[in-house]
A and B are shown apart, each in its own frame.
Chain A
Amino acid sequence: MMRLQTDQPTRAERAAYLAEALAGLYEGPVELAPTPGGRRAALRRLRDFDPRDYARTRNDVVRRGVSLLSPYLRHGILGLAEVRDFLVTRFAPGPGLAKFVNELAWRAFWQLVYAEKGEAVHQDLEPAKVSLRRERGVPADVEQAATGLVCLDTALRELYTDGYMHNHARMWVAAYLQHWRGIDWRDGAALFYRHLLDGDPASNSLSWQWIASTFSHKPYFFNRENVERFSGGAYCATCPLAREGCPFDASYEELAVRLFAE
């Protein structure tokens, strides 16, 4: 065991010190996320968050009407109840507030399942409802945010540099890795867990299982129309595969046949 220093005056000095002090306990470059740790930063974000438009804007990957509170909730820096109390006593009832509290309840649900299932959340909780290829290992182009698909590479770059990915983009990336690339959800979950500041064993693994259909009644997948709608067309406008070769450019019916036909 080793006692760490706690008196570095600046963030950069803290980082340099910690990089040496924790040598062997992390992987990849010594880079900081823009999200600061600590409750003061958490409370600032809470005070800045206005949930009134949340139901309408939360799924938009570009406009982002989200709270960005997840790293603080995950590490108990903010509690679910106090966040609910703060918002419900400051904003009138409405669909945005209700939806946000519903999202807080998702975390409570994942924790409840984790308390009951323990480490089993990292294995299939139910049989998959479709045929999954389940190849092992994250492909290099995904590790490098170089799939050539702007919607996914943008999300992956943000994951690797900022330790964050918008929830809707997480669904796209998770569905792409599993259903288009045939990768086992456990390897995708491990990739997210390594990088996400809000990486939580339960929320993460169970969400990947929700996409896989091993903790839901059907697999989640998406199409190009969904990407365009929830990015305001921003990704497709600059994507080299937009005119030809977009693997998402089909109806849900066509994709279901393409992805899940035995």
Chain B
Amino acid sequence: MPNAIVWLHGDSLSSVDPALLALPEAPAIFVFDEPFLQQARLSFKRLFFLYESALEALEGRNGFVYRGEVVETIRTFCLTHAADEIHVTTSVAPRFNRYVQQLRRQFKVVVYQPQPLVHWRGAAPRRFSAFWRRVETEALRPTGSGPQAYTEQSS
């Protein structure tokens, strides 16, 4: 298997992150996004919550926390670990998708999908009420007994 790293980010910051679970031996990284945070002006409370969550997620494994420009930091991290694959759980955030696109120029990026609350195909309706009418039955139906089950999507 090629060398791979796991990238944890603020939309999937748990010890049972699907990418983390899939590669228990791989080095893992969380990056405080310096250019984003410089303009977002978040309170310290928020950053500490992320830090505490990242530390717990990375407990007991080869895990690292950085501050820096995300793509450049991950690129350097991959080179340091002689890795050519990045495993990461998806996010709908446009910033995440931009970073993945940039990383794909140099690395294979394997993206995992967390289990959704409901399966939805097509465009978002204009109002929640229309969404709820279509998903209510599925939303209330359990698929397991709780923490936890995830599936891999694709690369």
Residues of A within 8 A of B (CB): 1-4, 6, 11, 14-15, 18-19, 21-22, 24-33, 35-40, 42-43, 46, 71, 75-90, 93, 97-98, 101-102, 104-109, 111-116, 118-119, 160, 162-163, 193-197, 199, 201-202, 216-217
Contacts and interface: CB of A to CB of B under 8 A. Distances in A.
Interface string B64-80: 11111100110010000
B94 A119 contact: yes
B93 A1 contact: no
Contacts of B32: 4, 22, 25
A197 B49 contact: yes
B146 A82 contact: yes
Contact of A114 (B73, B92, B115, B135): B92
Q: Which 3 A-B pairs have the closest CB atoms?
A: A1-B68, A86-B146, A37-B52
B41 A194 contact: yes
12 contacts: A3-B65, A26-B42, A29-B44, A32-B48, A35-B49, A37-B48, A38-B15, A75-B10, A75-B13, A76-B17, A77-B53, A82-B146
A162 B135 CA distance: 34
A88 B140 contact: yes
B45 A98 contact: no
A43 B147 contact: yes
Contact of A26 (B43, B127, B143): B43
Contact of B55 (A6, A76, A93, A106): A6
Contact of A40 (B56, B124, B135): B56
Given A38-B53, A81-B114, A98-B140, 20 more contacts: A3-B64, A6-B64, A6-B65, A21-B67, A25-B42, A25-B67, A26-B41, A31-B43, A31-B44, A37-B51, A76-B89, A79-B114, A80-B116, A82-B144, A82-B149, A86-B147, A88-B142, A102-B139, A105-B128, A108-B117
Contacts of B140: 84, 88, 93, 97-98, 101
B145 A112 contact: no
Contact of A79 (B50, B53, B115, B141): B115
Given A39-B57, A197-B49, A105 B142 contact: no
A109 to B, nearest CB: 5
A61 B114 CA distance: 32
B143 to A, nearest CB: 6
B1 interface: no
Interface string B21-63: 0000000000110100110111111111111111111100001
Interface string B111-145: 00011111010011001100110011001111111
Given A27-B41, A32-B48, A77-B14, A1 B66 contact: yes
Nearest to B89: A76
A38 B52 contact: yes
B72 to A, nearest CB: 7
Given A77-B14, A111-B92, A1 B146 contact: no
